Structure 1
Amino acid sequence: MMYKLNKKLSATIAMASLLALSACSNQEAATNSDEVITLRFSHFMTLNDSMNKEAFEPWARQVEEDSNGRIKVEIYPSATLSKPDVTYDAAAKGTIDIGVQPHGYTSGRFPVSQIAELPGVSESGEQLSCVLHTLYDDGVISNEYADTHLLFMMGSGPHGIHTVDTPIRTPADLKGMRIRRTSSVAADMLESVGAVTVGMPASDTYTSLQRGVIDGVSLPWQPIQAFRLDELVNSHTYIPFYNAAFVVTMNKDKYESLPDDLKKVIDDNSGAQMGIKASQIFDRVNAEVRQAAVDKGDTMVEIPDPLNDPAWKAPLEAGMQKYLSSVNVEGVDTQEVYEKAKAAGAACKV
């Protein structure tokens, strides 16, 4: 009889212990669910840049709202948290949690992805974003982002050539001119037509133009206004010889440390849909800034199809082949990747 009572008592004690442990576990889970996780988001654009105001800040607010305040996104613009050319690596190493970087700011870091920036692939930021996500989803370029958790990729829209007092109508007009370029891809294109290329962040171009260090810039329209270059340049050549890509990515360990429901919040606000949405902002502002230059009376030159233009075709194709030949990634047929990029471009055409 005593044995049975002891057995019942032991069972009661065990049940009480389990309930206590369960209560503690539930309390701990509740505490963890109430914990606010801060994500540090770094980019080189200014606080008032249209991309910051219309893409990055709304993205941060949406993530905070969807997480019921359990995620807080702190945005650090103007390269205050990471330098423009090492932001991707800073995200990979965990110095920052989320970062935005043009692919071309670190030469050789995304050589296969940058094939999509070549002429003949896209004519808008939206189209390039679609191309990049298509190539990523198909496994063509995904290896280049394996050390981070990719959020989305954007296209800036075709780069033009913007100069002070010197209209660019033919390759001969560029001979010897010092032109700021975004990347090695753009450099190969510009050098093929005789320009002297100078690499520097967009944030340094104003003073360089002002001091005569450079004669012009290769940029889409949006940063011409964002970095106040419209105060200095007055001649613009629209020639879609290059379209810059941007990667927005997250530290992999930080992402993996999130509970599943918060991972879903990040995932639901990422991917091709977000990349295209952000790129549409680039495209809209590009059109607005271009119109402002027309209204100001700036000189406008249009070369909409340079690969079929007698003056531009041969040098640009030479520049393309130079870049494709320079990409030395094991197992990658660069010509095949270029053809896949063009096919994606046709499928993604807006």
Structure 2
Amino acid sequence: MPRTGLLRLSMLASILVPVAASAETTIVVSSWAPPTHTINANVWPAWAGMVEKATGGRVRVKIEYGLAPPPAQFDIILDGAADATWMFHGYNPGRFVATQLVELPGNTAGAEAVSAAYWQVHERYLSAADEHRGVKLIGLTAHGPGHLHTREPVAALDEVEGLKIRVGGGVSSDIAERLGIIGVNVPAPQVYETVASGVADGVLMPMETKQSFRLAEVAPYTLELPGGFYNGSFAFIMNQDTFDSLSPEDQEALMSVSGIELSKLAGRAWEKADKEGVEFAIGEGNTFTLADEAVIAEFRDRTEDIRQTVIERIDGLGIDAGAALADLQALSAQPD
């Protein structure tokens, strides 16, 4: 080969090698809660740092807002309009059934323990339903106990009959029906205006929403139940093609900081946000009423069939729901 040809090849190689070495993938995360919400302010940034470190900087994460409304998050990941998101299962009625297991009320363990247990139980049992088919599941979490936040004081369950209460779907809708509540189905970002305008008399949501969705302003009265009225189920998902496009090394690295690790990270964030929500609401002059034994007993009586209903729904998917629930409770109770 002529000397000039060798020189050109050498120059071309010197250009291409650095480009290949610095090539990286940016995972675009679609998010839908306010930027100040704990998932956006704490969980995604922490996970992004973990992913970048685990992959040696080859994979980075960027959060974008407003790509789709909350109920459409699963579909935009399935369609490839974004690379990753977090989604609330209750926004997709009929689509997710096995995930209702973690939504049942009465689990008094913290959100971190429940979220870690949730991931393990999904891997052992619930994954058989393949309800997240088409996307890559990278984490699961349950928020803290959902309580009743209202415009006017409520201290007994007969006082909630006929009230219009925002519910998120899933088990919370079943609970509302048993309590004689008129369910108002709107995504979380719309709860403030829904309550402020009087379309709803209150909401069933965790304590963190006192601050994150400004409920302290419009729903200053809270009725607390030990273990809550329900728990909310969320998934962290990735577009399957995006995940598959990563090298095997980077896939392994990403999953090493996802799965149970991401689930626990989210659970810790929920717990911290709940505490901060209560502190904020107290500072705003909100009133908290802890349900007495009579209210607790009445709640159990009026909702006791829901557990069996959920178990039967999940059994219908070919899953031993009783064993899965027992494992969820046992794992949640284990010390870290």
- Which TM bucket (shorter chain)? 0.7 to 0.9
Q: Provide the secondary structure at the position in 1 that maps to 2:35.
A: coil
- Residue 201 of structure 2 corresponds to which residue in structure 1? 215
Q: Is the 8 A contact 2:210 2:278 kept in 1?
A: no
> Partner amino acid for 1:202?
A
CA distance in 2, matches of 1:289, 1:272: 25
CA distance in 2, matches of 1:304, 1:148: 44
Equivalent residue in structure 1 for 2:93, among 98, 107, 115: 107
Between the aligned residues of both structures, percent identity stands at 25
1:51 matched to 2:45:
no
- Residue 246 of structure 1 corresponds to which residue in structure 2? 234
CA distance in 1, matches of 2:185, 2:218: 19
TM alignment of 1:1-350, pairs within 5 A: 31-77=19-65, 80-141=66-127, 143-167=130-154, 169-239=155-225, 240-303=228-291, 309-327=296-314, 329-347=316-334
Q: Provide the secondary structure at the position in 2 that maps to 1:230.
A: helix
Q: How high is the TM-score relative to the length of structure 2?
A: 0.87
Q: How high is the TM-score relative to the length of structure 1?
A: 0.84
After alignment, is 81-90 or 242-251 more displaced? 81-90
> Partner amino acid for 1:137?
E
- TM-aligned CA deviation for residue 36 of structure 1: 2.7
CA distance in 2, matches of 1:283, 1:119: 17
Q: Provide the secondary structure at the position in 1 that maps to 2:195.
A: helix
Change (3 A) 1:135 1:185: same
Change (3 A) 1:31 1:260: farther
Aligned residues: 327
Q: Provide the secondary structure at the position in 2 that maps to 1:310.
A: helix
CA distance in 2, matches of 1:327, 1:196: 26
Q: Structure 1: any 5+ residue segments left out of the alignment? A: 1-12, 14-20
**Structure with higher RCO (Cα < 8 A, 6+ apart):** 2
Q: Provide the secondary structure at the position in 1 that maps to 2:267.
A: helix
- TM-aligned CA deviation for residue 273 of structure 1: 1.9
Change (3 A) 1:326 1:68: closer
Q: Which has the larger radius of gyration?
A: 1
> Partner amino acid for 1:42?
S
Q: Is the 8 A contact 2:125 2:319 kept in 1?
A: no
CA distance in 2, matches of 1:149, 1:24: 38
Cα RMSD after superposing both structures? 2.9
> Partner amino acid for 2:100?
Q
> Partner amino acid for 1:97?
D
CA distance in 2, matches of 1:144, 1:214: 31
Q: Provide the secondary structure at the position in 1 that maps to 2:118.
A: helix
CA distance in 2, matches of 1:176, 1:183: 18
